[in-house]
Structure 1
C-alpha cells in the first residue's frame, strides 16, 4: 500500500525531462493572459508598498488599517508556511480534513499561485536545489558578482515569468488526485478576490465610510500582499545566497535571522534543507518559529497528528563538523 510520504518522495524524485502530462489545473504552460494577470498581482501591490511610506507619514492610515494588514498578513503567511510548505509539500504532519481544507484556502489567500502549482514547483526546487533543474536558484548564472546579482533577481521574481516547466501530475500526484485540493487550486482567482476584498469590506463596515474601505484596501490588501510576496521570495533568493550554515545540506541554503518573524520561521532555511520533512525549522535557542508553534497547538487540539518533530539526536547528526557537545546542548532547542 502506498503511503502519503511515499507519494511525496516519488514526486520529489521525478525527472524534469519527463514528457509533460495532459493539462491539469489550468495547464502546464503559462499563457499570455496568465502572464498579464501575474504581472498585475505583483506590480500593483508593489507600487502600493512604495507609496505606503509617504502615505503613512502624513495621512491615510489608522490602527484599523494596521490591524487588518497584520491579521491578513499572518493568515496568508501561515497558510503558506504551515499549509503549502510544511504540510502539502513535505508532509511534515498529517491534518484532519477540516484543517487541511482551511490551510489550503489560507495559503491561497496569500496570492502566491494555485496550490498544486506551488507544491509542484517547490518539490522540484528541493530535488535540484541550487543545481541544474532548480526553478529558482540565485546561482543559476554563475558565481561572479554580476552573475549573482542577475541570479538574485531571477530567484526573487524573474523565474515566475518563465514558461512553466514543472509537470504537476509528476511532482504533486497526491494533490492532483484529491478532488477538494484540485477544486481549491482551480479556484485560485476566487481566493485572490476574497483576500483582496475582505479588508476593504471590514474597513468600510467598521468605519461606515468609503474612505475607511479605501484605506483598508490599500493597507490590508495591496501593501500586505506586496510585503508578503517579497518576504516569501526572499527565502528563494536571499536565503540561498547568504546566511549561516550550521547544518549539512547539499546546497547553499542559509539562516537569515532578520527575516524570521516576517517569514513565520521559514528563514531558518539551512536546517530545512538539511532535514526537509522536519515540522520545525528554528531548532536552536532563540530561533523564533511561529509556524512550528501553531503546528504544536493544532497537534494538542487533535487537528494535526504524526508530526515530524526533530529529536535532539537527529538535529546533532545534521550539524556541520565543529563545536563540542556542551555547546550543542546549550544551543539546541527541545524537540518538544
Structure 2
C-alpha cells in the first residue's frame, strides 16, 4: 500500500496533538498494546461460537420454529448494541461528532460495550489509527493490504474482516486515545469489558426464562438473543472494514477506497454510507443523500432535541457539495 500523510484533517480528536507523555497517563485499560495468547483464544471463541449459532439458526428455525419473544430479544439487543457502536464508540468517542451530557456519555459507553466488540478504548484507538492511515501503510485493517490482484484482494478481505484482530501488536492506546484513558469512568467501563460481555449474553436468557417461566424459554432466548445476535452484529460491523473499503459507490472525494453499500444500511444503522464518512469524518450524519437511511443520525437528532447532545456537527448543503466527486465533462 502507498504511504499515508502524517496528518488527516477533520477526523476528530487528534492522536498526535492530544497525546501526553506515557508516564502522565493512568495505566493502560483492559486490552493493552500487546495481545496475549489468552486474549487471542477468548477472541477466537467469541467469533467461532456465535458464528456456529448463526449458521445453525436457519435449519433450527425450520425444525422447531422461533418465538416472537426470541425475535424481539434479538432485535432489541441487536439495535441497542449497534447504536452503542455507531453513535457511541464511532461518531462520539472516536470522531467527536457531537458533545454529550455526562449521563448520555456513560450510557453510550455501556451500550457499545454490550455489542461485545472489544474494550472501548482499544476500539477507539484502532479506529482513529485506521482513519489516519486509511487504505495506506499503517491502516490496521485495509482490504488492500496485500495488493490489487484478485488473489491479493481475497486475502485482504479476510484480513480486513477478521484476521487483523489476531495481530499480536496492537494500536498504542496512550497515543491514539489519551482523552479516554484520562476519564476514570470511561477507563473503568473499558476495563470491565468482560463484565459487560457477561451481562450482554445473560440478559436474553434471563428475560426469556422469566417470561416463559421455563428453562427451554431461557435456552432459545440465549440462542437467538445472545449467540445469533452477537454473530450477526459482529459480521455487519466487520463488513464496514472489509466490504465497504472494496466495493460501493463513491460520490464524495476521499483519499481512500471507502464506498457506499446500500444493502448494509439498515443493519449497520447508517454506517455503510461509508464514502461520505471518510470524506467528512466528523459529520454526525453519514447518509446525507435522499433515501439514505441513517438511524444513528436520527437518534442523535432526538438526543439533541432532548438536550442530551449539543454542538452536533450536522452537514450543510455547501459542506456536502464541497466534498462531491467532480463529474467529468462530456466531450465536445
TM over 0.5: yes
Residues 12 and 127, structure 1, Cα contact 8 Å, conserved in 2: no
Q: Which of 1 and 2 has higher RCO (CA within 8 Å, sep 6+)?
A: 2
- State the partner residue of 2:4: none
Query: 1:214 and 1:135 mapped to 2: Cα distance?
Result: 37
- State the partner residue of 2:290: 285
Residues 10 and 282, structure 2, Cα contact 8 Å, conserved in 1: no
Shift of 1:65: 0.1
Corresponding residue SS for 2:14: helix
Query: 1:229 and 1:10 mapped to 2: Cα distance?
Result: 27
- State the partner residue of 1:328: none
- State the partner residue of 1:330: none
**1:237-262 Cα shifts (integer Å, max 9, x gaps):** 00000000000000000000000000
The runs of 4+ residues in structure 1 deviating greater than 2 Å are 5-10, 12-15
Q: 1:248 to 1:6 in 2, by over 3 A?
A: closer
1:86 has 2:102 as partner: no
1:37 has 2:65 as partner: no
Q: 1:201 to 1:147 in 2, by over 3 A?
A: same
1:243 has 2:243 as partner: no
1:24 has 2:28 as partner: yes
Gaps of 5+ in 1: 325-336
- State the partner residue of 1:106: 111
Residues 48 and 222, structure 1, Cα contact 8 Å, conserved in 2: yes
**1:211-235 Cα shifts (integer Å, max 9, x gaps):** 0000000000000000000000000
Shift of 1:61: 1.4
* CA RMSD, 1 decimal: 2.1
1:11 to 8, 15, 18: 15
Gaps of 5+ in 2: 1-8
Q: How does 1:34-73 map onto structure 2 within 5 Å?
A: 34-73=39-78
- State the partner residue of 2:314: 309
Q: 1:154 to 1:7 in 2, by over 3 A?
A: closer
2:141 to 136, 143, 158: 136
- State the partner residue of 1:179: 184
- State the partner residue of 1:153: 158
Q: 1:6 to 1:229 in 2, by over 3 A?
A: closer
Query: 1:157 and 1:24 mapped to 2: Cα distance?
Result: 24
2:218 to 200, 213, 224: 213
Residues 12 and 281, structure 2, Cα contact 8 Å, conserved in 1: no
- State the partner residue of 2:261: 256
**1:143-187 Cα shifts (integer Å, max 9, x gaps):** 000000000000000000001331101100100000000000000
Aligned residues: 317
Residues 144 and 152, structure 2, Cα contact 8 Å, conserved in 1: yes
